[in-house]
Chains A and B, each alone.
Chain A
Amino acid sequence: MKAADFDYAAPRTLDDALALLARDDGAARPVAGSQSLGPMLNLRLAQPGLLVDITRIPELRDIAVDGDALVVGACVTHARLEDGGYPDPTGGVPARVAAGIAYRAVRNRGTIGGSLAHADPAADWVAALTALGADVIVAGPHGRRSVAMADFIVGAFETDLRPGEIIAAVRIPALSERARWGYVKVCRKTGEFSHATGAVLADPGRGVARCVVAAASGRPVVLDDPRLLADAAARDAAVAARLGGDPAAIRPHLVALRRAVAQVTP
């Protein structure tokens, strides 16, 4: 349970971090809160040559409103999002999601960017930011690019990040006054990773009616169809068609989504 040997650097600027990560032997790896990478290092599932700690780069820790979006720096912790106290054009959704992640001691260090880069199919930000229609701002040796959440998560533990790139921020679109948010994790124990997640965003003001099923085996299932909010049978059928497999195994997902839909249905 002790990590293999590695080197460590804590650059103060994004450019310095990108320069360190540009090593072409692939042995350099970013680290943020180390709340997912730490267990992997201790179990020796990961054995990087160099860890580049990006948490001391001020611009990655900003939370700001930019136009019609909330922009959250990659190194913002779950606890900071949980506690609020920042301008929030989504009406409290990030705080609610963050409060349900792991335990306070983990939330104090774990970050939104680290969670997305790790891309555990059961991770809360993977599900919630997909439902919110967020964009991931990626910084790399060739500048910045923006990737829609639905394209960013490619599979279980797989993202669209290319070698040398890091997540710089997440852009969450503002919700309209009438927006409703439903979010349900099925867990046996409080704070653990989800066994089945349902997330629903109903925002008639912006013409959004999205159901997301996550914590299955791969990328989240996204269903953009307003009829599915009212028609449970059609919804179950649509989810079953996308998840496939054993009907017993997909039941928790149908239940999670049904409960999330109930939260948005007045």
Chain B
Amino acid sequence: MNQHARTISLTVNGHAVTAAVAPRTHLADFLREQRLLTGTHLGCEHGVCGACTILIDGEPARSCITYAVACDGRSVTTVEGLDADPLAAELRDAFSAEHGLQCGFCTPGMLVAARDVVQRLPDADDAAVRVAMSGNLCRCTGYVGIVNAIRRVLDARKPRPE
């Protein structure tokens, strides 16, 4: 083990985890290689593409430029941890209905970012959705399907006049 290894305790997808980590190990490598949670994808490893976006204490963050050692005591949620989340379920259905994914590489980060957009910006129009999602890159879809999927979920959640 690394000479600078530290023991950290955190919550990963609701489970308490205690693990030794090298300070240089970023959170995505910790999740993928030590926790075998390979739903978190790595594209650029310098904060630009958004593929690695996960939740720390409920807020989206880049797991490639956040070090695992800095997450001692935090609660981390990956795309796997959103399996039973009702909003994530709505988004998954909408992404498949609207062709919001093709190869799927960007999708875990897209779902995490999209969930935050729906929660934080319930009144967003399409332009606002595009701005809020601009930190997540997709090489396949051209974004139209992704924006439509988020639109579908936002609209479905709007209170309907009786």
Distance A103 CA – B62 CA, assembled complex (angstroms): 10
Q: Is residue A146 within 8 Å, beta carbon to beta carbon, of the partner chain?
A: no
Q: Which of A186-245 contact B (CB under 8 A)?
A: 189-191
Q: Which of A9-65 contact B (CB under 8 A)?
A: 10, 31, 34-35, 38-39, 41-43, 51, 53, 55
Distance A129 CA – B155 CA, assembled complex (angstroms): 39
8 A-B interface contacts by CB (under 8 A): A2-B29, A8-B67, A10-B70, A42-B45, A42-B46, A105-B61, A106-B47, A106-B62
Number of A-B contacts (CB under 8 A): 95
Q: Is residue A7 within 8 Å, beta carbon to beta carbon, of the partner chain?
A: yes
Binds A, one of B80-88, B95-103, B131-139, B144-152: B131-139
Point out the residues of chain B lying under 8 angstroms from A34, CB to CB: 65-67, 70
Q: Which residues of B are at the interface with A, using a C-beta cutoff of 8 A?
A: 2-4, 6, 22-24, 26, 29, 45-47, 50, 53, 56, 59-62, 64-67, 69-70, 72, 113, 116, 120, 130-132, 134-136
Q: How far, in Å, is B113 (CB) from chain A's closest CB?
A: 7
A103/B70 contact (C-beta < 8 A), A6-B4, A42-B26 known: no
A41/B61 contact (C-beta < 8 A), A8-B69, A105-B53 known: no
A4/B50 contact (C-beta < 8 A), A10-B72, A38-B67, A105-B135 known: no
Q: Is the CB of B65 within 8 A of A39?
A: yes
A108/B59 contact (C-beta < 8 A), A5-B2, A7-B4, A8-B67 known: yes
Could you say which of B4, B62, B69, B130 contacts A35, with CB atoms under 8 Å apart? B62
Q: Is the CB of A104 within 8 A of B113?
A: yes
Q: How far, in Å, is B108 (CB) from chain A's closest CB?
A: 13
Interface core residue of A7, A10, A41, A105 (most chain B CB under 10 Å): A105
Point out the residues of chain A lying under 8 angstroms from B29, CB to CB: 2
A40: nearest residue on chain B (CB-CB)?
B46
Q: Which residues of A are at the interface with B, using a C-beta cutoff of 8 A?
A: 1-8, 10, 31, 34-35, 38-39, 41-43, 51, 53, 55, 79, 102-106, 108-109, 189-191
Q: Is the CB of B50 within 8 A of A103?
A: yes
Q: Is the CB of A42 within 8 A of B4?
A: no
A108/B26 contact (C-beta < 8 A), A35-B65, A38-B66 known: no
Q: How far, in Å, is B122 (CB) from chain A's closest CB?
A: 15
Distance A5 CA – B72 CA, assembled complex (angstroms): 19
Distance A261 CA – B53 CA, assembled complex (angstroms): 37
Q: Is the CB of A35 within 8 A of B47?
A: yes
Q: Is the CB of B64 within 8 A of A42?
A: yes
Q: Is the CB of A5 within 8 A of B22?
A: yes
Interface core residue of B61, B64, B113, B131 (most chain A CB under 10 Å): B61
Q: Is the CB of A189 within 8 A of B134?
A: yes
B60: nearest residue on chain A (CB-CB)?
A105
Point out the residues of chain B lying under 8 angstroms from A190, CB to CB: 130-131, 134
List the 4 shortest-distance A-B pairs measured between CB atoms, nearest first.
A103-B135, A38-B65, A8-B23, A39-B46
Interface core residue of B64, B130, B134, B136 (most chain A CB under 10 Å): B134
Point out the residues of chain A lying under 8 angstroms from B131, CB to CB: 190-191
Distance A7 CA – B24 CA, assembled complex (angstroms): 8
B6: nearest residue on chain A (CB-CB)?
A8
Could you say which of A7, A41, A104 contacts B60, with CB atoms under 8 Å apart? A104
Interface core residue of A4, A8, A189 (most chain B CB under 10 Å): A8
Q: How far, in Å, is B12 (CB) from chain A's closest CB?
A: 18
Distance A35 CA – B113 CA, assembled complex (angstroms): 17
Distance A1 CA – B66 CA, assembled complex (angstroms): 13
Q: Is the CB of A6 within 8 A of B61?
A: no
Q: Is the CB of A104 within 8 A of B45?
A: no
Point out the residues of chain B lying under 8 angstroms from A41, CB to CB: 24
Point out the residues of chain B lying under 8 angstroms from A6, CB to CB: 4, 23-24
Q: Is the CB of B64 within 8 A of A106?
A: no
Point out the residues of chain B lying under 8 angstroms from A104, CB to CB: 60, 113, 116, 120, 132, 135
